Structure 1
C-alpha cells in the first residue's frame, strides 16, 4: 500500500490558508509539521483508524494530540454526550451534571479536594498561576524548560523563540530550570528570593524522575513558600487512572488535567487543595480571585463525555492496555531499528503509554529532514504517526501492521543515510513550531 493521492486536501489547504492564519487552529496540526505528501484534512475516525478527505485510510498515533485515548467515535462516550446534549448544553444556572462530574474526577485524583472546569489546558494552567500568585503574594513562576508546552499564554510563550508581541516585563516574570536537576531549581530560588509563587512541571515525559526528584521539588517549594503544580495534561488518564501523581506517590498543591479526560470532547480541569481553590469561591475572607469564569466551561455534553470516559477507566483496564500495546510496538520498532542498522540515528523513548521518536542524520545530529522522510514513508504505508502514542483502540493487528510500515520506512531511512537524503525526500522538510521566523 502506497498512499500518495491527496488532491482534495491540496485544494482545501489553499482555501484554509486564505481564511485561517497557518491554515489550522492548532500549530501542531499545521502543514509545516507534516511532509508535503501527507493528508491535509481528516474527514472521520473510528477507533484508531482515520480517513482523510481523499478517502485514504490511516492507523493514527497521538490520537488528536493525545486527547482521544479510548478511540475515535467511542460509542459509550458518544451515547452519553448525545443523551445530555438533547436536553440543552448551556443554561443561566449550573446543571447538576457539573456536581456529578466534579465528584467523578475528584474520586480519581488522589489529594484533589476541589475542581473547576474549563475548555483547554492553557486556561487551567494559567489559572493555577493566578491562584498561586494570589495565595503567596508573589509574582514570579518557575517552569521546567525540558517540557515543551504549558500554555499559549504570555507567561510560557515568552520563554520560547515565538515571543513576538509579549512585553519584556512579562517575560521577566518567568524563570526556568531543568528536569532531574534539583540544583538548577535551587539556583532559581536563590536568584529570586521571596519572589517565586510556584513551580510548574510535568511529572514525567520521556525521562523518569530520578533520586526522588519530584519529592525534592515539592520539599524545595515548601521551604521557600512556593506552590507545587503538576501539569497532568499528558500524564493524566495515561500513566494511571489517578494520573502521574498516583504513580509517583506525590500530591501537588494544584494540578491541571484535560486532553483525554473526555476522550476528545473539550474539557479541562484545575484540581487542588481546598484552601487554595477557595480563593476563587464565595467563602474566603481573603481578597477574591477571579477564577475560571468561562461561558462554555461547563457545557453539559462535554461533562457527560468525561463521566462516561472515567467510567470506562474504572470498569475496564485501559491503562494496562496502553502499556501492553505500547510495549508490543516498542519491541517491534526496536527490532526494525536493529535489522536496518539505524541504531543511533533513529530511536524511540518514553514509557510504553507515551512513546516518542527521534531522528538523526548521518553525523548523529537531530534532523528535521530525516523526521520528514520518516513521516513521508510511514504515511505512504498507511500510518499517521507524529509520535507512537497508542490508544485503547489499538489492537494487536494494528500494532503489527504499524511495525511492518515502520520496517519499510526504516529501510528507506537507511538508504538515505548512505546515499544522501536528497535522493529520497520529496518536498520541503518540516519545521519546529518554536521558531522566530517562518
Structure 2
C-alpha cells in the first residue's frame, strides 16, 4: 500500500465529532433520529456531526467544510437556509405557530398545493412521510373493505409503521399476522402484478409504489398499473416523497401523465421543514372528513400537522420551484455531475466499479468489487476519500444551491478517490484502505 495514501487519510480525523457521537449513542438509540443518518452508515470514526449549513455547504463541529449531497435525506433541495423560505418562516413565527382552530395559512397552503399538483382534488398536511403513506393505506382499506396491501418490493422504504416495516429485516416486535397482510410485486412487471392480484382476488386494498426511482418506468407501465387497479377494484397509491418536485413541480404523476387515486408528498416540499401531504381523489379523501354519510375514517389528525411556519415554508418552496425553474436546474446540475464522475471513474480505470445511476435530479452511486458485485467495503473506501476531500456524499443527490465550481471540485475529489479505488482493486483487497469496519446497510436484523 502506498504510504502517501495512508498518511493523507490518517491526517483527516474528527475528534470532536467522535466525542459527540458517543454522547449521541448514550442518550439516543442508534445515535440519530433517523437510521439512515447513523454513524454506521459512515466509515469508522469519520461520521461528522454537523454544526450548521448554508446553501450547498455544511460545517461539522471539527471545523471542516463540506460540499453536501443528499441534503436532509433529499429534503433540502433548494440548499440550507434558503432566503425565500427562511423569510416566509420567520414572518409566520412572529404570528404564532399553532392554534385551537385552523389558521388561514392552512387554506392558502392547500390552495397552493392543489394548484401545483392539479391531478389531486383534496390534500391534508402532516409532519412526516410515514404518517401520510399509512393514512393512504388505511383509507384504501376502508373504502375497499379489503385487508391486504401490495407494496412494490423493489423500493426500499414506505413507512415506519408495521404494515411496511414487517417486510424488512428489522421486523422485530411486529406480529406475524400483520406481516401476512402485506404482499409485494416487482417494479416494471405488469404480468407478475396481475398474477398477484388474481391470486388474492378481491383481497388487495391497494397497490403502493414509487412511480420512479433509479430507473425510469418502462413505456406503458404506470398506465398499465392504473388499468390493473381499476379492473381489480384496488386503490393506486403513488409515493411521491422523492419524485415530488424533483421529477416535476407536480411530481412523477405530472411528468408521466398517469393519475393515481392517492399520492403522498414530502421531503422537498418543505426544504427541510417538517411537512408532508396526502392528496388524491375527492370521493376518497372526503371519507376522512365530515361531509359524507358513510363510516368515518380516522385519516390524519396531528397536533402539529398544520404548524404555520412549516406550511409557509412549503408555499415558499412551491413558489420558488415554479418561478425559478428549480426542477430544470436540478436536472442540469445532476447531468453535469454525472458526466464528470463517469469521466473521472473511466479515466482511473474504475468506470465499471463506481457506477452513477438514477434520474439526474436524484443520482445515487454503486460501489462494485472486482467481480462487479455491490460492496460495502469499497463503499467505505470511497466515502473515506470523499470525506477527506471535503465532499459529504452518501449519494449524489443535488440541491439547486450547488455551483459549477462545487461540481468541478466534487469531480476532482472523486478522481482522487478513484485512483485509490483502482489500487484496492489491483490488490484485490480493500481492507488496508478502510481503517476500520465497513459501513453497514440500514435494514439488517442484528445491530
TM-score range, shorter chain: over 0.9
- Cα distance per residue 1:204-251 (max 9 Å; x no partner): 001111131111011000000001000000000100111111110111
Match of 1:428 in 2: 437
Offset at 1:37? 4.1
Offset at 1:362? 1.2
Match of 1:233 in 2: 241
User: Of residues 138, 155, 163 in structure 1, which corresponds to 2:163?
Assistant: 155
Offset at 1:425? 1.3
Q: Does the 8 Å contact 1:200/1:230 carry over to 2?
A: yes
Is 1:191 aligned to residue 203 of structure 2? Answer: no
Counterpart mapping for 1:291-330 below 5 A: 291-330=299-338
Q: Distance in 2 between matches of 1:256 and 1:152?
A: 15
User: Of residues 393, 407, 415 in structure 2, which corresponds to 1:407?
Assistant: 415
Match of 1:219 in 2: 227
Offset at 1:327? 0.4
| Structure-2-length-normalised TM-score | 0.97
Match of 1:55 in 2: 63
Offset at 1:11? 1.1
Q: Distance in 2 between matches of 1:227 and 1:431?
A: 35
Match of 1:29 in 2: 37
Is 1:341 aligned to residue 360 of structure 2? Answer: no
- Cα distance per residue 1:140-199 (max 9 Å; x no partner): 110101111000101111111111110011001111011111122112112211010000
Q: Does the 8 Å contact 1:39/1:52 carry over to 2?
A: no
Match of 1:81 in 2: 89
Listed as ranges, the gaps of 5+ residues in structure 1 are none
Q: Distance in 1 between matches of 2:107 and 2:390?
A: 43
Q: Distance in 1 between matches of 2:79 and 2:219?
A: 36
Offset at 1:360? 1.1
Q: Does the 8 Å contact 2:185/2:193 carry over to 1?
A: yes
Segment of structure 1 superposing worse, 345-354 or 1-10: 1-10
Q: Does the 8 Å contact 2:377/2:431 carry over to 1?
A: no
Match of 1:67 in 2: 75
User: Of residues 373, 379, 382 in structure 1, which corresponds to 2:390?
Assistant: 382
Structure 1 moving runs of 4+ over 3 Å: none
Offset at 1:5? 3.0
| 1:35 match: secondary structure | coil
| Alignment RMSD | 1.0
User: Of residues 54, 57, 68 in structure 2, which corresponds to 1:46?
Assistant: 54
Is 1:5 aligned to residue 2 of structure 2? Answer: no
Q: Distance in 1 between matches of 2:183 and 2:111?
A: 35
Match of 2:27 in 1: 19
| Structure-1-length-normalised TM-score | 0.99
Q: What count of residue pairs does the alignment treat as equivalent?
A: 438
Q: Distance in 2 between matches of 1:179 and 1:112?
A: 24
Q: Does the 8 Å contact 2:190/2:224 carry over to 1?
A: yes
Is 1:370 aligned to residue 409 of structure 2? Answer: no
Q: Distance in 2 between matches of 1:155 and 1:353?
A: 30
Is 1:272 aligned to residue 280 of structure 2? Answer: yes
Q: Does the 8 Å contact 1:182/1:216 carry over to 2?
A: yes
Segment of structure 1 superposing worse, 30-39 or 137-146: 30-39
Listed as ranges, the gaps of 5+ residues in structure 2 are 1-7
Is 1:142 aligned to residue 150 of structure 2? Answer: yes
- Cα distance per residue 1:308-335 (max 9 Å; x no partner): 1111112101011101000000110110
Q: Does the 8 Å contact 1:37/1:426 carry over to 2?
A: no
Match of 2:3 in 1: none
Q: Does the 8 Å contact 1:118/1:294 carry over to 2?
A: yes
Offset at 1:346? 1.6
Match of 1:290 in 2: 298
Q: Distance in 1 between matches of 2:277 and 2:372?
A: 41
Counterpart mapping for 1:76-155 below 5 A: 76-155=84-163
Q: Distance in 2 between matches of 1:217 and 1:173?
A: 20
